[in-house]
Structures are given as structure tokens and as C-alpha cells.
């Protein structure tokens, strides 16, 4: 997109490994039977992903915005 500069792209790229690690953590937490903690972690992941998509100028699915 026209308003995407290198700094914004680098910011998103830098955050991607964190999101990936958090997803792995959430899966482990869920597997361990701690559903409430897994849900909290996945909500944070969703919010961060929406933020990253917005930074990249991507359309965020309606269900993900809330």
C-alpha cells in the first residue's frame, strides 16, 4: 500500500516471531487443560494480528475486529 513504509513493514516483521511463539504457547497451555489461560493468550494474539494487518493496509475480517 502507498502508506506502508519500510519502518512499518520492519515493525510487523519483527513482531511475527513473537506471535508464532505465543501461538505455540497457547496450544501447549490448551493441551495442558488450562482453557481460560489459552483463551486469554489467543485473544491477545488475535488483537496483535489485527493490529499487524491494519499496519499493512490489509482488510481485517469482520469477525476479527471485535
| Residue 16: pLDDT over 80 | yes
Residue 62's Cβ-side half-sphere holds a number of Cα atoms within 13 Å equal to 0
Percent share of the chain, pLDDT over 90: 71
Question: Cell numbers at residue 7, please?
Answer: 519502518
Give CA–CA dist 54/8, Å, rounded.
11
pLDDT of residue 66: 62
pLDDT of residue 3: 78
The pLDDT tens digits for 29-41 are 999 999 999 999 9
Radius of gyration of the chain (CA): 14
| Residue 21: pLDDT over 70 | yes
The residue written with cell numbers 516483521 in the block is 13
pLDDT of residue 33: 97
**What are the residue ranges of helices labelled H in 1-66?**
6-31, 35-55
Amino acid at each position: 500500500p502507498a502508506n506502508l513504509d519500510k519502518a512499518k513493514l520492519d515493525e510487523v516483521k519483527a513482531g511475527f516471531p513473537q506471535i508464532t511463539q505465543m501461538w505455540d504457547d497457547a496450544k501447549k497451555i490448551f493441551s495442558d487443560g488450562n482453557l481460560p489461560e489459552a483463551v486469554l493468550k489467543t485473544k491477545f494474539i488475535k488483537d496483535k494480528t489485527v493490529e499487524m494487518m491494519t499496519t499493512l493496509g490489509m482488510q481485517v475480517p469482520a469477525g476479527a475486529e471485535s
